[in-house]
A and B are shown apart, each in its own frame.
Chain A
Amino acid sequence: MFGYVRPLKTNLSDESAARFRVVYCGLCHALKKRYGSFMSLFLNYDFTFLALVLDSFKETGRVCNKRCISKPFYGCHYREPDSSLFLSADISVILTYYKLKDTVRDESFFKSLLARLLILIMKRNYEKAKKHLPEFDQTVRIELQKLDKIEKQNKESIDLAADTFALLLSSTAKEADLTKKNERILSEMFYHIGRFIYIVDAINDLQDDLKKKRYNPIAARFSLTTANLSEDERNTLYFTIDHSLSSASSAFELLDISRDRDIIINILYFGLRAVTAQVMNGTWGKRKRK
């Protein structure tokens, strides 16, 4: 995943920002504990969101303090890794592995050297994560194969292409130990978050994909030859993205959670919209390159 799912910091209270940090560091510790320090380099906000949502079902959870590489002097407060954090860690290892595989396939031999190296280093970690989540790994494999076919046929349906990644993310709900009702809701909510991530990432990659003559669902949908989107095309994209975010939020409102409602609301209603705007006006990539 790509780090698109994050809160809008300016709208977040200090307390909530601290709590988000605690979960972020908790996931980092979960990765280190199960997979070693190297894997914690792949930590990102999308997986933190996953961990946050899974942790929100529990009323309490132990918070510890420890020094680490990024906070060597005072240490950081972190959520003690438990089932929901380890699950997020397993999922992140599997998805990171497949993302690197994707890079190797898409880029030239020399450009993909780093990705090839990383795959070699993390292969054993991936095998370990796969042992924890065999069904999820199978789903990821199947959905990515479907996506590969769609790419080769240059399908012009955004929905068809986004459906693969949306189903993949949606299937994570099955792995968490939830009531049937919550599992159903979470699966629907994650479908729309997955759809959002896929479409926003496709908009972000539009220019690069056109230059390298790679499949891009947005380019295929509007038969684009340049990355400049017309007003109509932008409105169409905003409409469909907003409707996914609206559906994810409606689903979330039905979820029986015990805490962190304000942070999740911030992400769903403000964070994701801010990210969409940044990607749409081209400031997202610039911010990342700085």
Chain B
Amino acid sequence: MNDPYKTLGVSRNATEDEIKKTYRELARKYHPDNYVNNPLADLAEEKMKEINEAYASLLGNSGNNSQTGGQQWQSSYRPNTANSNIYAQIRAYISMGNIMQAESLLNSISDRNAEWEFLKGSVAYRKGWFDEAKRHYETACNMNPSNMEYRNALNYMSRMNNTYRTYGGPSSGMSGCDCCANLICADCCCELMGGDLISCC
């Protein structure tokens, strides 16, 4: 096993509080919810596991944030249309990372509903084609405004942009207030997507 101090990036004489603080920062950074539908999601998960193990070996418990995985494509979700089987298949391809197959199946469908738009957006997203991803997600949301999965995908993009933009705060150094607000906001988003950042709320 790797040196837990090195994994967490703390000195050997760090106090318990320092270790906890660093752990919380790292757990926030590598949380699977920051790598949803991301080609590097498996590496982020691996990293999170290493951090959890290092924290557990230093402080004796596994921390609050032990995560087994991020938001995955829920194959249990079955749209009630004639194409539901093919859509389930496309979802399976996306979750396996087989984007080319998913895309060619999508292109073979002529009846394009909200689910089609959402999956087309997901495929574009995985490729890094973010302008098209956003447009397809928006169309999916407009076609089926009550679907939370579609809405979450769109909100996720805005949330990641906000996290990126607020890095280090406006004049470097995030105030305590912003940090808490962001954390609570992130927690709410995570809960919507099935994860949890602050375990007590």
Interface residues in chain A, defined as those with a beta carbon under 8 Å from any beta carbon in chain B: 11, 157-160, 163, 166, 181, 184-185, 188, 191-192, 195, 221, 236, 239-240, 242-247, 249-251, 253-254, 269-270, 273
Contacts and interface: CB of A to CB of B under 8 A. Distances in A.
Contact of A185 (B43, B128, B160): B43
Q: Among B30, B129, B130, which residue has the most Cβ atoms of chain A within 10 A?
A: B130
Contact of A240 (B35, B130, B165, B172): B130
B194 interface: no
A191 B128 contact: yes
Contact of A269 (B30, B43, B157, B168): B168
Given A159-B132, A195-B128, A247-B128, 9 more contacts: A157-B132, A159-B124, A159-B127, A184-B40, A188-B40, A243-B130, A246-B160, A247-B130, A273-B165
Contacts, number: 77
A245 B167 CA distance: 12
Contacts of B151: none
A47 B42 CA distance: 30
B40 A244 contact: no
A159 B35 CA distance: 20
Chain A interface, DSSP helix/strand/loop, else mixed: helix
B134 interface: yes
A124 to B, nearest CB: 36
Contact of A249 (B44, B164, B172): B164
B131 interface: yes
Contact of A239 (B34, B35, B161): B161
Contact of B131 (A188, A240, A249): A240
Given A239-B157, A251-B40, A246 B164 contact: yes
A242 B131 contact: no
A236 B134 CA distance: 9
B128 A239 contact: no
Contacts of A270: 168
21 contacts: A157-B131, A158-B131, A159-B124, A159-B132, A163-B127, A185-B40, A188-B39, A192-B128, A195-B128, A221-B131, A236-B131, A236-B134, A240-B131, A244-B128, A244-B130, A245-B164, A247-B38, A250-B35, A250-B40, A254-B40, A269-B164
A256 B161 CA distance: 24
B47 interface: yes
B98 interface: no
Contacts of A247: 38, 128, 130, 160
B200 to A, nearest CB: 26
Contacts of B30: 253-254
A217 to B, nearest CB: 10
B29 interface: yes
A221 B168 CA distance: 33
Given A159-B131, A221-B131, A236-B131, A246 B40 contact: no
Nearest to A192: B128
Given A195-B128, A243-B157, A254 B43 contact: yes
A163 B129 contact: yes
A251 B38 CA distance: 9
Given A250-B40, A254-B40, A240 B168 contact: no
A253 B29 contact: yes
B40 A159 contact: no
Contacts of B74: none
Contacts of A191: 128
A163 B132 CA distance: 12
Interface in B148-201: 157-158, 160-161, 163-165, 167-168, 172
Nearest to A189: B40
Given A159-B129, A159-B131, A243-B160, A254 B165 contact: no
Contacts of B132: 157, 159
Q: Which 7 A-B pairs have the closest CB atoms?
A: A159-B129, A246-B164, A242-B161, A243-B130, A269-B167, A240-B131, A246-B160
B78 to A, nearest CB: 30
A226 to B, nearest CB: 21
A159 B127 CA distance: 9
Contacts of B168: 269-270
Q: Among A163, A245, A254, A270, which residue has the most Cβ atoms of chain B within 10 A?
A: A254
